[in-house]
Amino acid sequence: MEFAFYFASGVAVVSTLRVITNTNPVHALLYLIISLIAVAMTFFSLGAPFAGVLEVIAYAGAIMVLFVFVVMMLNQGPASVTQERHWLKPGIWVGPTILSALLLAELLYVLFVQPSGAAIGQTTIDAKAVGISLFGPYLLVVELASMLLLAAAVTAFHLGRTEAKEQ
């Protein structure tokens, strides 16, 4: 599992550097998805499958869909269709496809070839342990984060209203 940790960390670093250096937002989103999946793989290799699953569901799933919607909303008009076709040429998918294939090969290697007793993290953190931590000593932090997210949602609603744009 040590190999899996370092390999996934390397893929995360490379794809994150591609996110930062890319000037095209669609390409950056593709590499960001790969980066988030690689971070989930590091969680899996450390013995925290619940954190890895949350990473995939919450960040690589929900947050990335939100980012794609934002990109779609910002590129309105008939010119955006030709621009998106230009952005999503088949050659653009080569980098994310290679990194995804490497992560898939790593996952298959860890699951089927690597002996199961070679984990970096010696304990497995399950959902109950995460829940006890979040709603025990960190309850105030969780509630403050939820209030911050609510304030961000209300602000985004007010900024995106059509009445506010007309004034």
Quick one: pLDDT at residue 55? Answer: 86
DSSP secondary structure code for residue 57 in this structure = I
Question: In whole angstroms, what is the distance from residue 44 CA to residue 106 CA?
Answer: 11
What are the pLDDT digits (tens) for 123-147?
677 778 878 887 888 888 888 888 9
φ and ψ at 24, to 5 degrees? -90, 125
Predicted pLDDT at 125? 72
Q: How many helices (H) and strands (E) does the chain have?
A: 9, 0
- Are residues 97 and 31 in contact, defined by beta-carbon separation less than 8 angstroms? no
Cα gap 148→130, rounded to integer Å: 21
Average pLDDT, the chain: 78
pLDDT digits (tens, 9 = 90+) for 35-72: 989 999 898 888 888 888 888 888 877 777 777 777 66
